[in-house]
Structure 1
Amino acid sequence: MAHIVHFGKYYFPDAGGIESVTVSLAKGAALAGNTVSVVCFEKTPASKKEMIDGVQVIRAPIAKLLASQPLGFQYFLQCLSSAKKADVVHLHAPNMLGALCALFIHSRTRLLVHWHSDVLNKGFIGKILRPLESALLRRANSIIATSQVYADASETLAPFKDKVAVVPIGVPDAKHEGSDSQLPPALESQIGSRKIVLAVGRLVPYKGFNALIQAAQQLAKDSVVVIVGGGPLHQELQQAIVHGGVEDRVVLAGRLSDAALHALFERAALYCLPSTYRAEAFGVVLLEAMTYGLPIVASDIPGSGVPWVNQHGVSGLNVPIGDAKALAEACNQILGSEELRSTLSKGARQRFLAEFTEDVSVERIMSAYDGLLRAANTTYPRSVHR
């Protein structure tokens, strides 16, 4: 039995791509019989500990947010305390304070750095972080990248490529969740019987929702764009909808319950990811769309895993970044051909089953732990394997 400690920023019920990966891997390791803890930040002032699906979750309050990076002395102390008992520390990066904590853990503790994304467009903060990132990656015993494309394009990872292994993200199969969910009545009335072009994500600049709103002007008349999520650009996007004259074509649905989101995925005709740069490193939500067999229209982001995840002509179509016309044309191509939509739907589902299931992802990470422990001449914990 191994003792595994995750250093994360947030954890369930806080939602997000990295958070969902942390939950999946922590729960998977616990189910395999390992002792698993997660140290994360709490958005309320109180510290707390709880057990969730066999995982001990240790939450520390945020003292300050710096360029979206949470900071707090209690988090630092909890990381150091938890790491003392760990065979493996699994750090989910980017995480400024988690990276600093990792430099203080004992050399006998194996450190796996899960490189979800480079730090991009953070200005002065990014410059400050570079020496810390380099020190972290020097200390790391192993580095996990989510795609070979992203690893190859990362200038930060380049000096440490001999430590890098690729483990694509996996997600649970949505087909196991049942199909009795319903949409909120107000959203149901806005959609009517139209074909849904679905997009989900935080309303922030790199998600590219402005381009999708512009594309709505050219979409087939029997379709409607539904954008799910909250964030700082809500008002700006609402104004873009009004300015573009597409109030009846685009719905900003806000944050929805899991049940309502499940119903939307089941109803959607296709999924659209119009993100604009490498901050969209992988696109976990694409995997969720694939579980429902949704064809995908995504941006062809250089150096990102997105166009690798959405294999052009197999699971969907990839279009140039920020090109509203190309976005609309690709969506219309799928919406206008049931044969193409069916082909891409089957391709999306098959690609999920072949590459992105949760079981395969967890098994690969368990093997990475096993390798670290073997290299450290630690007694082989059979329970690391599923």
Structure 2
Amino acid sequence: MRALHIITGLGIGGAERQLRALLRRLPLACDVVTLTNPGPVARQLAADGVRVTHLGMGGNRDVGALPRLVRLIRRGRYDVVHTHLYRACVYGRIAARLAGVRAVVATEHSLGAHRIEGRPLTPGTRALYLATERLGAATVAVSATVAGRLLAWGVPERRIHLVPNGIEPDRFRFDPAARDAARAALGVPRGAVVVGGMGRLVPGKRFDALVRAAARLPDDVWVVLAGEGPERAALRVLSARLGLAGRVVLAGGCPDVPGLLSALDVFVSPSTEETFGLAVLEALAAGLPVLHASAPVVEELPRSQAPGARRVGAGPAELADALTAELALGARRLPVPAAVARYGIDRSVDRLMNVYEGVCRR
């Protein structure tokens, strides 16, 4: 069996990192096409020995990319085409059917209640999604929350398959040497307390609320944000306006996520509309206390499975109060919770292979 994975971009994001984790374990030959942005994860995949092709798509309406994608799929003679993220799902499902591949699987990584991948869920966006969804054979939901949303949209239950995201827990184990190296690279003083967040720098992630909260905290508290996106400049301006320019580090598309997590003392996810919470899971695997506004990865489990994760309000004042209470307990590492073992990547791979085999049989 040969599979082609089509993804919108390969910057540092949850869907992109999840794709790499899957490809490191999937027991079949896989190639990858990125429609745009062959960023850090593209380089990591290439280093893993995965063939990555950049389609060079100019934008959402670059329909000239469609025939190029059709030709690529035909040449590869793939048994399965698997799409990830909205634009890749729309174009990829159409291209796969035109190329004669009917075993088309799409993973829905980022379907929120009001937004999809940061963009508002307009009637047109929803209609296009549903029209192209019918061209596929199966739609994978990364959480029960996403599965429920797909069902409410009218996607038939028989086509929805729950395959939670997974990680390789040992990769995120706390490493004191990595902590010192990462802090030095980020320019963080040795005695500083570091609060961190990770994800695309877009309004929906609400990292501005974390920066505003930091302005209410003592001067020895630093904020490190890992990720790229259109909000980067605005966050830099906001930090300067609040007098935090020296204490807010925009780390960019950090390729060493385990090292970054070792450098932190508290992890914060201020987004109110997460569909899984992969970064939360990775932070828990690193033994970090986690404050989150939304994280199905732990909210769908009993509280005892992730005692180090606490749901908090998303406003700056609420975040500041929660951080003050957390920091009063002192910088510490927590035992890795049971939730981490539930989301091992091998379980995700087994479930995904069952989906592949089912759609190929049909």
Q: 1:359 to 1:184 in 2, by over 3 A?
A: same
- 1:372 matched residue in structure 2: 359
1:81 is displaced (CA, Å) by 1.8
- 2:82 matched residue in structure 1: 90
- 2:34 matched residue in structure 1: 40
1:290 is displaced (CA, Å) by 1.8
Residue 280 (structure 2) pairs with residue 314 (structure 1): no
What SS does the aligned partner of 1:235 have?
helix
1:26 is displaced (CA, Å) by 2.6
1:131 is displaced (CA, Å) by 3.5
Distance in 2 between residues matched to 1:140 and 1:168, nearest whole Å? 20
Q: 1:178 to 1:296 in 2, by over 3 A?
A: closer
* Structure 2 segments unaligned to the other structure (5+ residues): none
1:45-124 matches, cutoff 5 A: 53-62=48-57, 64-66=58-60, 72-73=65-66, 75-82=68-75, 85-94=77-86, 95=88, 96-106=90-100, 109-118=102-111, 120=116, 122=119
1:300–1:306 Cα contact (<8 Å) kept: no
1:104 is displaced (CA, Å) by 2.2
1:146–1:305 Cα contact (<8 Å) kept: no
- 1:275 matched residue in structure 2: 271
1:172–1:358 Cα contact (<8 Å) kept: yes
Distance in 1 between residues matched to 2:207 and 2:250, nearest whole Å? 13
What SS does the aligned partner of 2:59 have?
strand
Q: TM-score, normalised by structure 2?
A: 0.82
Distance in 2 between residues matched to 1:229 and 1:307, nearest whole Å? 24
1:88–1:110 Cα contact (<8 Å) kept: yes
1:79–1:101 Cα contact (<8 Å) kept: no
One-letter identity of the residue aligned with 1:281: T
2:198–2:226 Cα contact (<8 Å) kept: yes
Residue 126 (structure 2) pairs with residue 130 (structure 1): yes
* Structure 1 segments unaligned to the other structure (5+ residues): 377-386
Distance in 2 between residues matched to 1:157 and 1:293, nearest whole Å? 37
1:350 to 313, 326, 338: 338
1:96-245 matches, cutoff 5 A: 96-106=90-100, 109-118=102-111, 120=116, 122=119, 126-154=122-150, 157-173=153-169, 174-175=171-172, 180-181=177-178, 182-183=181-182, 185=184, 187-188=186-187, 190-220=188-218, 222-245=220-243
Q: 1:155 to 1:79 in 2, by over 3 A?
A: farther
Provide Cα deviations, 1:223-252, integer angstroms capped at 9, x if missing partner: 32222233322332223223333345x312
For these two proteins, the number of residue pairs brought into alignment is 347
One-letter identity of the residue aligned with 1:35: A
1:138 is displaced (CA, Å) by 1.9
2:14–2:199 Cα contact (<8 Å) kept: no
Q: 1:287 to 1:305 in 2, by over 3 A?
A: closer
1:11-26 matches, cutoff 5 A: 11=10, 14-26=11-23
1:97 is displaced (CA, Å) by 1.9
Most deviating of 308-317 and 193-202: 308-317
Distance in 2 between residues matched to 1:71 and 1:307, nearest whole Å? 42
Distance in 1 between residues matched to 2:264 and 2:199, nearest whole Å? 16
One-letter identity of the residue aligned with 1:144: V
Q: TM-score, normalised by structure 1?
A: 0.77
Q: 1:175 to 1:138 in 2, by over 3 A?
A: closer
Distance in 1 between residues matched to 2:313 and 2:302, nearest whole Å? 14
Distance in 1 between residues matched to 2:309 and 2:184, nearest whole Å? 30
1:352 is displaced (CA, Å) by 1.0
Distance in 1 between residues matched to 2:270 and 2:63, nearest whole Å? 27
RMSD (Å), alpha carbons: 3.4
Provide Cα deviations, 1:139-182, integer angstroms capped at 9, x if missing partner: 32221101111221347743322321211101223247965431
Distance in 2 between residues matched to 1:193 and 1:319, nearest whole Å? 26
What SS does the aligned partner of 1:272 have?
strand
- 1:28 matched residue in structure 2: 25
1:293 is displaced (CA, Å) by 1.2
Q: 1:212 to 1:270 in 2, by over 3 A?
A: same
- 1:384 matched residue in structure 2: none
What SS does the aligned partner of 1:281 have?
coil
